[in-house]
Amino acid sequence: MTGKIRILIVEDDIRLLTLIQEYLDAQGFKVAGETRGDRALDRIFKEAPDLVILDLMLPGLDGLSVLGQARARFKGPVLILTAKEDDMDQVAGLEIGADDYVKKPVVPRVLLARIRALLRRKNPVVQAASDVEAKAASQDGLNFGILSIESASRRVRLGQKEVGLSTSEFDLLWLLAKNFGQIISRDELYLELKGYDYDGLDRGMDMAVSRLRKKMGDDPRSPFRIKTVWGRGYLFVPDAWDME
């Protein structure tokens, strides 16, 4: 098993810090908290978390100053939190080195989707942690039994047949496949593939998954290769591609 992803939250609002920490703990992350900007730098450098969630309004040292100084040595993703409506605040953070931002009040599931998107962007290939995973680990391609997906050429083969996918269908398959064994929520799919938040009503992604299943030889009435996990999202099953 690979170790838990470590997240450091720098936020002076104890109630919000606790809320985020408990939510991310329940999602399987290892989360630590810090309430002061002047202590955050030392912790970032010493603890070297996989991702930092950084509020901009902090005692001791403001978030933009923390970010600017941290970027000299810390190369991991940083997601800033801001209560300000002024777009210049977000622009300044992104220019200094933030990877993304979330406005307050924080919606936990949206924050989770942004975190997962950042982690995938920084680590595009899942680290092999089992024999099943080891079969698939490749920067340029993924292989699962009869399924072969080539990233550079954007070609997909199912057994001896090449599967014709549109650009959006390939992107959807690649996103699901490279996160095999993990449930990917609709929020994450919309953020990663369309660049905006899921509004809770649009069924376009469900239809896209349904079309993809048909092309990939999955049973639309009882899918076993790309499963729907009720209330949570979609799951690419890596060992379901061993036979036609």
Give tens-digit pLDDT for 142-200.
888 899 999 888 899 998 899 998 888 999 999 999 888 888 888 888 888 877 777 77
What integer is the mean pLDDT of 60-73? 93
Domain assignment present for 100? yes
Looking at residue 81, the DSSP 8-state letter turns out to be: E
Q: Which pair of structure tokens corresponds to residue 198?
A: 């899921």
Residue 16 has a pLDDT of: 94
CATH number at residue 113: 3.40.50.2300
Residue 86 pLDDT level (bands cut at 50, 70, 90): low
pLDDT at 133 over 80: no
Give tens-digit pLDDT for 11-40.
999 999 999 999 999 888 999 999 999 999
If asked whether residues 91 and 182 sit together in one domain, one would say no
pLDDT at 131 over 60: no
Distance, in Å, from the CA atom of 62 to the CA atom of 55, rounded to the nearest integer, reads: 8
If asked whether residues 222 and 187 sit together in one domain, one would say yes
The CA radius of gyration of the chain, in Å to the nearest whole number, is 20
Domain assignment present for 1? no
Average pLDDT value over all residues in the chain:
84
Residue 101 is part of which domain span? 6-122
Residue 243 pLDDT level (bands cut at 50, 70, 90): low
If asked whether residues 32 and 109 sit together in one domain, one would say yes
| Residues 119-130: b if buried by 16+ CB within 10 A, e if exposed | bbeeeeebeeee
Residue 9 has a pLDDT of: 98
If asked whether residues 109 and 147 sit together in one domain, one would say no
Of all residues in the chain, what percent carry a pLDDT higher than 90? Answer: 40
If asked whether residues 110 and 216 sit together in one domain, one would say no
Residue 28 has a pLDDT of: 87
Distance, in Å, from the CA atom of 196 to the CA atom of 201, rounded to the nearest integer, reads: 13
Domain assignment present for 212? yes
Of 101, 122, 143, the residue at which a domain comes to its end is 122
Domain assignment present for 177? yes
Domain assignment present for 16? yes
If asked whether residues 99 and 140 sit together in one domain, one would say no
What integer is the mean pLDDT of 67-79? 92
- Antiparallel, parallel or unpaired: β 6-10 and 51-55: parallel
pLDDT at 137 over 80: no
Number of folded domains that form the chain: 2
pTM of the model: 0.55
